Structure 1
Amino acid sequence: MYKGYLIDLDGTMYNGTAVIDGAVDFIDRLNEESIPYVFLTNNATKTQVEAAQKLLDMGFDIQPETLYTSSMATAAYLRETAPGASVYVIGTDSLKGTIEASGLTVTDSDADYVVMGLDPGINYEKLSKGTLMINAGARFIATNPDKKFPTEKGFVPGNGSLVSVLTVATGIEPVIIGKPEGIILESAVSALGLPKEDVLMVGDNYDTDILTGINGGVDTLHVNTGVTPKEDVEGKTHPPTYMIDNLKEWSVR
């Protein structure tokens, strides 16, 4: 069996504020067997601590350092490729704080980079500023490409849907940091300290979670509790390594 796990959050552990049946038990079983795991999430609206606190409040027995978000990966990417750069951020205060903590300058004008994460307060002014800066030469980065994500009420627009506005307006495709891109996967696998063949990627979204594993050489487990329906997954040319309806079905040993 696998010696380490990369685990998605939205649609895999919870939908909005509702815990998915079997998710807490799954984490408890990993803890009991001392199997390491990293929560690999495209959600860039929260800091590592905030994302961990949501899980703790839901009854998950986890440590904050097990969280690796697309906002953390974005900040790391910018820190390595453009230290000290100025960044216009379309996103939450948590995303801005994560980027600032990496030594980058967050600004509202003449930025070197435009970084876009899911912003519940999105408006025309923010989209216009981003468009103007990209057209003026700023590089365009998207924390993640998710077109939608599940809540307790149903599916709502994700960051990818909003990123498409700037892509259409500028003709520029962004550098995507989150799943299914390899940038975030390599960082998470490194955190586990295991070879890829010993790691399993667990998620509900074929286009992000499962393709992350397929593209990056990591086995995948699709759980039919979120974005991609079972019927759609079954029709894919490159299927996941495994598919289950509920995490209760999966044995960690």
Structure 2
Amino acid sequence: MMTEPRWNYLMDMDGVLVREEHLVPGADAFIAELRENSVPFMVLTNNSIYSPRDLRARLHRTGLDIPEDSIWTSALATAQFLDQQRPGGSAYVVGESGLTTALHNIGYVLTDRDPDYVVLGETRTYSFEAITRAIRMVEGGARFIATNPDEKGPSRDGSLPATGAVAALIEKATGRAPYFVGKPNPLMMRSALRNLGAHSESTLMIGDRMDTDISSGLEAGLQTVLVLSGISDASTAEVFPYRPTLILDSVADLVGNTANPFKSVDT
């Protein structure tokens, strides 16, 4: 008799667990059930500003108890990628402490003199001087890496330019396109799977965006769940040539079914 697979979970953070600093209803019960049943999971975010410790504190304020080692950021994925590509290298970084700390932790030297890489991440205070230096270093032969392709992010006052928008500026000035590590690059998913010790065949990716979460999940060979608690609505999935495995209102629909998530749609 064949046994059902034990499912592992990867999930986006914003729009899946929290939205605009508020808990998505039922997300606390979902995370609690995963932890109580020792179900392996990892929370993913393209945000490279914060360290896992910072994000744990942010999530805890909303009522979610998520360990640091269950949080995987584009900064960590970028650091792991660079450590595999060029161990002990050097980088000029435009970004915040989440990115610089990740690179320090793999033994990278951060420098503005002949670096191996220019690494662009997200920051709330993009400096024209820093961007100009990055352009000149890329022109001088530094390889161009960006943590994620998101073009804008939210704030209380409206949209803010994000990593993808600034990367486009540098690309336009240099003629050199960056390599984006974060979603929708399936590399982000595979690095999270390795850190989770999970296999793609028994892992679900939960996200609120078809063009990043679901796309990268599919390309990494995962089952995918689109939740409607964030950016996407029911009609969004119809626009794309691919479909998620499940479409649910939110992760609250999985409570009681985390061992077999497909029971949530059984008739």
The normalised TM-score by structure 1 is 0.92
The answer on whether the counterparts of 2:217 and 2:223 sit within 8 Å (CA) in structure 1 is yes
Q: Which moved more, 1:232-241 or 1:13-22?
A: 13-22
| Partner residue in 2 for 1:73 | 77
| Partner residue in 2 for 1:9 | 13
Structure 1 residue 126 corresponds to structure 2 residue 130: yes
The answer on whether the counterparts of 1:79 and 1:102 sit within 8 Å (CA) in structure 2 is yes
Structure 1 residue 208 corresponds to structure 2 residue 194: no
Structure 1 residue 252 corresponds to structure 2 residue 258: yes
Find the partner of 1:84 among 82, 88, 91.
88
Q: CA deviation at 1:33?
A: 2.7
| Partner residue in 1 for 2:235 | 231
* CA separation of 1:71 and 1:48: change in aligned 2, threshold 3 A: same
Q: CA deviation at 1:155?
A: 5.0
The answer on whether the counterparts of 1:15 and 1:152 sit within 8 Å (CA) in structure 2 is no
Q: Report how many aligned residue pairs link the two structures.
A: 253
Q: What is the CA deviation profile of residues 2-43 of structure 1, one whole-angstrom value per residue up to 9, with x for unaligned ones?
A: 511001112211123222222212211222332110112211
Find the partner of 1:159 among 139, 142, 163.
163
| Partner residue in 1 for 2:67 | 63
Provide the C-alpha distance between the structure 1 equivalents of 2:21 and 2:186, rounded to a whole number of angstroms. Answer: 29
The answer on whether the counterparts of 1:18 and 1:152 sit within 8 Å (CA) in structure 2 is no
The answer on whether the counterparts of 2:16 and 2:250 sit within 8 Å (CA) in structure 1 is no
Rg (Cα) greater in structure: 2
Query: Secondary structure of 1:230's partner?
Result: coil
| Partner residue in 1 for 2:262 | none
Find the partner of 2:196 among 188, 192, 195.
192
Find the partner of 1:29 among 24, 28, 33.
33
Structure 1 stretches lacking a partner, 5+ long:
none
The answer on whether the counterparts of 1:10 and 1:149 sit within 8 Å (CA) in structure 2 is no
Indicate the RMSD between aligned Cα atoms, in angstroms.
1.9
Provide the C-alpha distance between the structure 1 equivalents of 2:246 and 2:155, rounded to a whole number of angstroms. Answer: 25
Q: CA deviation at 1:211?
A: 0.9
| Partner residue in 2 for 1:180 | 184
* CA separation of 1:26 and 1:6: change in aligned 2, threshold 3 A: same
Q: CA deviation at 1:90?
A: 0.7
Query: Secondary structure of 2:235's partner?
Result: helix
* CA separation of 1:93 and 1:180: change in aligned 2, threshold 3 A: same
Find the partner of 1:148 among 144, 148, 152.
152
The answer on whether the counterparts of 2:123 and 2:162 sit within 8 Å (CA) in structure 1 is no
| Partner residue in 1 for 2:111 | 107
Q: CA deviation at 1:194?
A: 2.7
| Partner residue in 1 for 2:101 | 97
Structure 2 stretches lacking a partner, 5+ long:
260-267
Percent identity over the alignment is 35
Q: Which moved more, 1:157-166 or 1:37-46?
A: 157-166
